Every structure is written in structure tokens, then in C-alpha cells.
Structure 1
């Protein structure tokens, strides 16, 4: 008796192909960001925001930040010793 012949085995093969849904989702995302979206500029903006967020830390904050980067909780950024 194979595992598929057990009384608890489903009577049908249940599979779902989400490929069409994923293509529709991507189409909606591209339409939502619009034709003027510049991914390189968006990434630069995110990097600038991250640099600003973690700038001006006092010694204790910097120590905790460095520990979080070393532990992999926060990603290392430009200028980080762990980068």
C-alpha cells in the first residue's frame, strides 16, 4: 500500500497556479507608481533618509546601533564599519 492509497489521502490533487494573478498584481503596481517613477532616484532617497535617521547618534545610541547591525537586526549601510 503506497502513501497515496491511504484512507486519509485526498481524492483529488489540489493545486493553484497564481501566475496570472501575479502578472495582474505587477501591472497594477506599475500603473500605480506612474510613468514618472525613477527607481534609482527612489533608492537614493531611501538611502539619504536612512543616513539621516541614523546620523547624530550619541555614543550609547551608536553602540546599540552597531550591535544591532552586527547581530543582523539592521542592515549595514554606507559608512558602517560592518558594511
Structure 2
């Protein structure tokens, strides 16, 4: 017995409209006070603090993670005071 391809028609669903609606809802929920550059600066400041003032063992672990490509190298001039 041969399989009849007309018994199982191709099914396609275009998610473009739903994705556009979802993105619009996210932007609307963020509101007008959302400032992407300020958010990115805040994240950079948090990373600077996180990786500053490491003890010897922490620095070795950090260097190992950077060397293996797990973490990006932080520039020394970006470290927090």
C-alpha cells in the first residue's frame, strides 16, 4: 500500500503578525521612561564592580574563565574605584 500525500496536506503558519504584536506589547510595557543606553551603562558598571578588587584565587579563576572564552576580558581602565 502506498502513502497518499494528499491525505496529509502541508501545514504552514506564519508567526510574523504574532511576533510583531508581541514585540509591540513588550515595548508598550516598558513605557516611555525606558532608556536603553542608561540600562547598558548600568550593566557595564555592575560588571566593573563585580570584577574589581578580586583576591588572588578569584583573579586566577577569572583569568581561567577568560582564557577559556567563558567571560570576556574586562579592560583594566574600566575597573571601578
TM-score when normalising by structure 2: 0.76
Q: Which runs of 4+ in 1 moved over 6 A?
A: none
Distance in 1, matches of 2:13 and 2:72, equals 35
- Cα separation, partners in 2 of 1:69 and 1:19, compared to 1, 3 Å: same
**Runs of at least 5 residues in structure 1 that lack an aligned partner in the other structure:** 1-5
| Correspondence list, 1:14-25, <5 A | 14-25=11-22
Structure 2 residue aligned with 1:7: 3
Cα distance in 2, alignment partners of residues 26 and 45 from structure 1: 23
Q: Does 1:70 align with 2:67?
A: yes
Q: Does 1:54 align with 2:51?
A: yes
By relative contact order (CA 8 Å, sep 6+), the higher-ranking structure is 2
For the residue of structure 1 that corresponds to 2:76, the secondary structure is coil
2:9 and 2:35 map into 1 onto residues whose CA distance is 47
Greater helix proportion: 2
Shift of 1:27: 0.7
